[in-house]
Structure 1
Amino acid sequence: MKRFTTAVVLALLASLLTAAPARAAGTATVLDRFGRTINGYGVQLVDWEGYLANPYIELTVRPPTDVPFPVTIDLKAEGTSRLMMDLPSQLTATGATKRLTFANSSEQKTFKLAIHSKRAAGQDELHTLRLSVRADNNTTYTQTMPIRVQQDQKTAIEPTIPINFDYRYDNITGYFTNPAFRTAAEEGVKDWYRFFNLQPFDTVAVGAETNHLPGNDWQNSINVTNNAAYNGMWVYFRGIQTPYSTGYPANNGRYHTRNGQQLPGPIHRSTAMIFEYDEAGKQLFTSLADEDWYRTEIAGSVLDVHGLVMHEYGHAIAYHSDWAGMRNFVSTGGVNDAEVTAYQGRAVALDSSYHIPATSPYWDRLSGQSGGWNHLFPTRRWMLTKLALLVAENAGWPLNRNLTPFLTPSIVTTSLPNAPTGQAYQHKLTAKGGVPFYDWRVTGGALPAGLTLDRFTGTLSGTPSTAGTYAFTVELRDYDSQSAPVTRTFQFTVGNGNGSGNLALNASPSCSFTSSWESCAAINTGGDPASSNTGAPNQGNRWGTWPQQGQQWAELTWPSAQTISRSQVYFFADGDGVGLPASWRLQFWNGSAYVDVPGATGYPTVANQYNTVTFPPVSTTRLRVLLQSVPNLSTGLLEVKAFS
């Protein structure tokens, strides 16, 4: 048996103690859909425009492996009542709670996290996800991570056309005489128009637009008309006692013109919202306070005025057989709307009452919400969904595609600032669209040594050590599993492009023709000319081809293959027989012949500066500058640089 001295044992223990710190005992691991462990970074949620159900984030929990099982993990999303988790879960005044149970360490379970929209415009938010792990021996471990909420609605959005509310006929119940009731109802109507891209219509004259309103039991209807001229929409509100609430348009569509021109439609310019409330034991809930919305989850105790009006007015604005476009959508089973099918992943056929079906396959795919009482999340206020708006577009209302819910993912950053050699560098790539819990990855080329890309934030940081120009491709994925990844290729310079980064310094130059008083060796000295007319005859600091004209070339040859993606060329022009070329291009040796570099960004011909061209990386032992002189002039170069 091998024996260890006390000193060796102590050394071994010391090495274990100084190794990378292990995960704390009783720590659960939380992963996102990209397989990233988010324990350190946390979660990114988005609050879309403030009037629309927000997308959720699905996460996977793995229990700790170093505690006795079974294990329970209590999740608490805390900081605002607007936080929620998928059922079974609870909404509370301070957040959402949910319990997961694990029989053994090999189990893993998912949960979904979202935030209810905030109507009031505001800044980004920071909340907390708390995990309380309880082992079989009743030992409890607690861990937390941040919940970041991106508020897309920094300023409130309002309908772009005027909406006239008419309360003259609320003379049965008088519901709308209550100011809070009236405000909640109006907001329910406006929420639809906030997402439409509209301009005012031609003015409807007083008394020109007719409609009808029912009495109790939808009997004794009366004919009504507008008592003022208007160029937006006219909305009648009336309360009745029985048997149901709904909305509908005036079935004429005569006044959908703008500047005298008929618009696609017909678009009905008069609508009605009928509110019925006769349920014993229910309290009318009129609050629009963001932190009060969780109270609508208490089943059977409240009737939410805003949510009910928003839902029922949907029949007036779109979900009704009087809208020709919606009739066509229903008659075809929704299969003709490719955008709806692409978004939801299936055709969406409305039921006979012009509702999106309330079953789970037809809940909005990103938010898990529907237009009824059943949702992926605890029941609460009815809200608009992206799916509902995409379907509503069939009625003739154009959506405002500039609003964030309708933007596809894209990388906003187009270029990167240069990085000094040996100095700390940091620059954040930015993106927009999709569901912005983004994943950033380098999928082509390579970052300069010393730099890394943060997958969560898109931040490029570190201390680059080697000068040169680098090309790499970044891929962006958003949290919508049906989104296609997007990429962008960046050219990134470390240092100023001189020094060791200039591959031309290690090449041997050769030229097609050289004037006896000029030098081909001048093209790769590494110097930076002061102007295109720098240098003098017989000093070896410029290459010229006088009196030769037409096509000329200068090339660089390396003893081994180089990867090149960028070149800089400084032209010689003395105004006395040698001028800027008419055109030029770069070619590389492919092993048997010279061919043009692929995907070149362009070939400028500017005096007194470097002319830069970038292209996808090529591997070659020879690079050639091919020049075509202008008539009656020769051409030449002062310097050629090449970078990886």
Structure 2
Amino acid sequence: MPTVLVLLASLLIATPAHAAGTATVVDRFGRVVNDYGVKLVDWEGYLANPYIELTVRPPTDVPFPVTIDLKAEGTSRLMMDLPSQLTATGATKRLTFANSAEQKTFKLAIHSKRGPGQDELYTLRLTVQASNNTTYTQTMPIRVQQDQKTALEPTIPIVFDYRYDNITGYFNNPAFRTAAEEGVKDWFRFFDLQPFDTVAAGAEPNHLPGNDWQNTINVTNNAAYNGMWVYFRGIQTPYSTGYPARNGRYHARNGQQLPGPIHRSTAMIFEYDEAGKQLFTSLADEDWYRTEIQGSVLDVHGLVMHEYGHAVAFHSDWAGMRNYVNTSGANDQDVIAYQGRTVPLDSSYHVPGGSAYWDRLSGQSGGWTHLFPTRRWMLTKLALLVAENAGWPLNRNLTPFLAPSIVTTGLPNAPTGQAYQQTLVGRGGVPFYDWRVTGGALPAGLSLDRFTGAISGTPSTAGTYSFTVELRDYDSLSTPVTRTFQLTVGGGVGGGNLAPQATASCSFTSSWESCAAINTGGDPTSSNSGAPNQGNRWGTWPEQGQQWAELTWPSAQTLRQAQVYFLDDNQGIDLPASWRLQYWTGNSYVDVPGASGYPRLADQYNTVTFPAVNTTRLRVLLQSAPNLSVGLLEVKAFS
């Protein structure tokens, strides 16, 4: 082969296969996401998740018409808006383009993963087929942020009473019983409650129907309780539903009736007599796509979750819900702010099934049609906001209810001519964030990554720079948030994080935690990040009182600043009641002089500056709150 042809062949082989025939994928902020990919969020594991919308522009260097097949690969939980298909390995969808000027949108979401889990990584594959049957393939990452790192359970005890399931005996099946109980618990996972006054045995009358709602029987609790009492009964006809006790008795706390008022017991009636229907009881994450709302599969969990909604809120026996219906929801500003409109309930206390009333961020509803393929009924943020009218306060600290915010409050100084990186941390909203500098300017040599919030580079010119950063989340109705930072290049604090060069030691470490986790140099995503037995956090449970963690260097360091990231796992480890920094004088530990203050903030670094000290050891001294333990995710130290 001639030399020229050999060189040409090698060049052709070296050219990336996706360079030609590459489609461009753009998000709602106008960012091309081909390289970074996309980010989805799993909201607490029991709630319908927000979707993201992407625009596909076909390649311009291939003959038309063109089809692009989308495949979200890696888990059956991935889904795309209709028309699309669900499969055991992910969702598929086809887009067709008549010419290069056309562009099409699609929506991508993920079904919730029940229970706590770690962040996930999947793949979005695009297969482009030109009119000459030439195909091109490209891929990009799908990142999934798991907001639930620890189990989320109801904060009041729930008693399930099966004594009267004597018509059909459905609940004798353990899998059936578990699926049904989870459908009830899913509501209470999102309520901010404390136990009520104790209801004595025999003090809570209720009633249960027989077939065709005939032969009603009167029932009562056979034990004392201070949470919610739930009766389950299977009947053969005509339908499933739920309702609260209509006995004029309501929950109290410390002798005072609670607003709502809140009924003391509820009942869930399950009906199943359809020929050819298969009862589906699996709660496995990878099985959800096998469920159906209409069709041959009757999903126990989804049906109970939906129908128990009538027992817990969506029923005329709840005074607050009667008022909501009578006013067509016009007085509920939280619902209006979220959905962008009033959301009335129909005469049967359902959210209307039209697309205008689908949950705005997830595209799902309690009805028969959704923006996505209709499978298991899922609890939605909209349904919870409406349910609050029954008197159930929502836990507003859970991520679905947090407004977007920038939690980073300050940036350490940057040494001139040295590599620098600090990542801004955001919280709340739909966290496929867009970060931008909207005022002032970063120091020359530094840039802000729009996707990650990382400020990085090598600053070249000394001075103090002021700039304003804007964060936008993926909710189109969210208001952007801003924060102004000052960053000093050269002089004062600098030289980068010195903590990774030190050896960590701690007063006490739980057997499943790691003291060595505190100085890895990483950046936690929240105070509840990390996991037991993973070596990525330090905790002292069950030890309480004063605890400490310290860094020891092989030679003396000049220190002027420290940053501390607290662990708060919502399971016994909380922010400290107080804390301070100490340094080793050579004979003893003393508090650092002139500390700028000791903030106690979750989900961000707590920064302390002080006049320079020369030492081989820096200690973080923590005092726990009563009946709680303390922990750290990361400590940074700067010269």
Band of TM-score, shorter chain: 0.7 to 0.9
Which whole-Å CA distance do the structure 2 matches of 1:432 and 1:201 have between them? 32
**Pairing of 1:17-36 with structure 2 (within 5 A):** 24-36=19-31
SS in 2 for 1:185: helix
State whether residues 121 and 156 of structure 1, in contact with CA within 8 Å, keep that contact through their aligned partners in structure 2: yes
C-alpha distance in 2 between matches for 1:23 and 1:316: 55
**CA 1:21–1:449: 2 relative to 1, 3 Å:** farther
Q: CA deviation at 1:70?
A: 0.3
Q: Which amino acid aligns with 1:116?
A: H
**Following TM superposition, by how much is the alpha carbon of 1:23 offset from its aligned partner in structure 2, in angstroms?**
7.7
* Residue 559 of structure 1: aligned partner: none
Give the number of the structure whose alpha-carbon radius of gyration is greater: 1
Which of 194, 199, 205 is 1:210 aligned to? 205
Alignment of 1:516-555 (within 5 A): none
The answer to whether 1:318 aligns with 2:305 is no
Aligned to 1:340, what secondary structure does the other structure show?
A: helix
SS of the counterpart of 1:361? helix
Candidates 462, 468, 483, aligned match of 2:463: 468
CA distance in 1 between partners of 2:249 and 2:491 (Å): 67
Alignment length (residue pairs): 487
Q: 1:65 to 1:607 in 2, by over 3 A?
A: closer
In structure 2, C-alpha distance between the alignment counterparts of 1:335 and 1:299, rounded to whole Å? 32
- Structure 2 unaligned regions, length at least 5: 1-7, 494-609, 614-639
Q: 1:443, 1:474 within 8 Å by CA — same for their partners in 2?
A: yes
Q: 1:608 to 1:378 in 2, by over 3 A?
A: closer
User: Per-residue CA shift, 1:406-456, capped at 9, x if unaligned?
Assistant: 000000100011111001111110000000000000000000000000000
Query: Is the 2:76–2:89 contact (alpha carbons within 8 Å) kept by the matching residues of 1?
Result: yes
The reply to whether residue 335 of structure 1 matches residue 342 of structure 2 is no
Deviation at 1:109, TM superposition (A): 0.4
Q: Which residue pairs with 1:172 in the alignment?
A: 167
Counterpart position of 1:573:
none
Matched, 1:140 2:135: yes
CA, structure 1 residues 122+366, in 2 after alignment: closer, same or farther (shift >3 Å)? same
Q: Take 1:607 and 1:125, find their aligned partners in 2: how far apart are those partners?
A: 43
Shift of 1:345: 0.7
Aligned position for 1:399: 394
- In structure 2, the residue matched to 1:282 is 277
Distance across 1 between alignment mates of 2:94 and 2:16: 29
Describe the shift of the 1:22–1:87 C-alpha distance in structure 2 as closer, same or farther (beyond 3 A). closer
| Aligned-pair CA distance for 1:260 | 1.2
Q: Is 1:109 the counterpart of 2:104 in the alignment?
A: yes
Aligned residue for 1:316, secondary structure, equals helix
Report the Cα distance in structure 1 between the residues aligned to 2:452 and 2:35, rounded to whole angstroms: 13
The corresponding residue for 2:351 is 356
Indicate if the aligned counterparts of 2:18 and 2:138 stay in contact, CA closer than 8 A.
no
1:460-498 per-position Cα deviation (integer Å, ceiling 9, x unaligned): 000000011100000000000000000000010111169
Q: 1:73 — aligned with what?
A: 68
In the TM superposition, residue 22 of structure 1 has moved relative to its aligned partner by 12
The one-letter code sitting in structure 2 at the alignment partner of 1:55 is P
Structure 2: distance between partners of 1:172 and 1:416: 66
Q: Structure 1: how far apart are the matches of 2:292 and 2:207?
A: 35
What SS does the aligned partner of 1:145 have? strand
Contact conserved, 2:293 with 2:368, CA < 8 A, in 1? Answer: no
Structure 1 segments of 4+ aligned residues over 3 angstroms from their partners? 20-23, 606-609
Q: Secondary structure at the match of 1:443?
A: strand
The residue that corresponds to 1:10 in the other structure is: none
2:508 is matched with none
SS of the equivalent of 1:133 reads strand
Q: Secondary structure at the match of 1:138?
A: coil
Q: C-alpha offsets along residues 273-307 of structure 1, whole Å, 9 cap, x if unaligned?
A: 00000111110000000000010148512000000
Whole-angstrom distance in 2 between the partners of 1:474 and 1:94: 39
Is the 8 Å Cα contact of residues 155 and 194 (structure 2) preserved in structure 1?
yes
Partner of 1:199: 194
Residue 439 in structure 1 maps to residue 434 in structure 2: yes
C-alpha separation in 1, matches of 2:275 and 2:73? 34
Matched to 1:80, the amino acid is: T
**Amino acid in structure 1 at the alignment position of 2:26:** L
Shift of 1:265: 2.0
- Distance in 1 between residues matched to 2:456 and 2:221, nearest whole Å: 63
TM-score where L is the length of structure 2 = 0.74
**1:120·1:290 contact (CA, 8 Å) conserved in 2?**
no
Conserved? CA contact 1:434–1:480, under 8 Å: yes
CA deviation digits over 1:312-347, x for unaligned, max 9? 000000000000000000000100101101110110
CA distance in 1, matches of 2:76, 2:260: 42
Separation of aligned partners in 2, 1:257 and 1:396: 12
- 2:273 and 2:360 map into 1 onto residues whose CA distance is 34
TM-score of the superposition, structure 1-length normalised? 0.74
Q: Paired residue for 1:374?
A: 369
Instruction: Note if contact 1:416-1:492 (Cα within 8 Å) is conserved in structure 2.
Output: yes
Counterpart residue type for residue 113 of structure 1? L
Gaps of 5+ in 1: 1-12, 499-605, 610-644
Q: Which residue of 2 aligns with 1:385?
A: 380
Structure 2 counterpart of 1:423, which letter? Q
The answer to whether the 8 Å contact 1:373/1:380 transfers is: no
Counterpart-to-counterpart distance in 1, 2:451 and 2:296: 42
One-letter code of the match for 1:46?
V
Q: CA deviation at 1:256?
A: 1.4
Measure, in 2, the Cα distance between the counterparts of 1:73 and 1:248: 49
2:32 & 2:128 partners in 1: Cα distance? 17
1:364-403 residue CA offsets vs partner (Å, 9 max, x unmatched): 0000000122100001100100000000000000000000
Root mean square deviation, CA, Å: 2.0
Aligned counterpart in structure 2 of residue 153 of structure 1, from 148, 152, 158: 148
Asked whether the equivalents of residues 45 and 112 of structure 2 are also in contact (C-alpha less than 8 Å), the reply is yes
Q: Distance in 2 between matches of 1:113 and 1:169?
A: 44
Written as runs of structure 1 = structure 2, the 5 A alignment for 1:265-304 is: 265-297=260-292, 299-304=294-299
| CA positional deviation for 1:270 | 0.6
Letter in 2 for 1:431: G
Q: Deviations over 1:83-102 (max 9, x none)?
A: 00000001110000000000
Give the whole-Å Cα distance in 1 for the aligned partners of 2:443 and 2:612.
30
The answer as to whether partners of 2:292 and 2:299 remain within 8 angstroms in 1 is: no
The verdict on how the C-alpha distance between 1:59 and 1:213 changes in structure 2, with shifts beyond 3 A counting, is: same
The structural deviation recorded for 1:262 is 2.0
Q: Distance in 2 between matches of 1:64 and 1:225?
A: 68
Shift of 1:252: 3.0
1:331 aligned partner, one-letter code: N
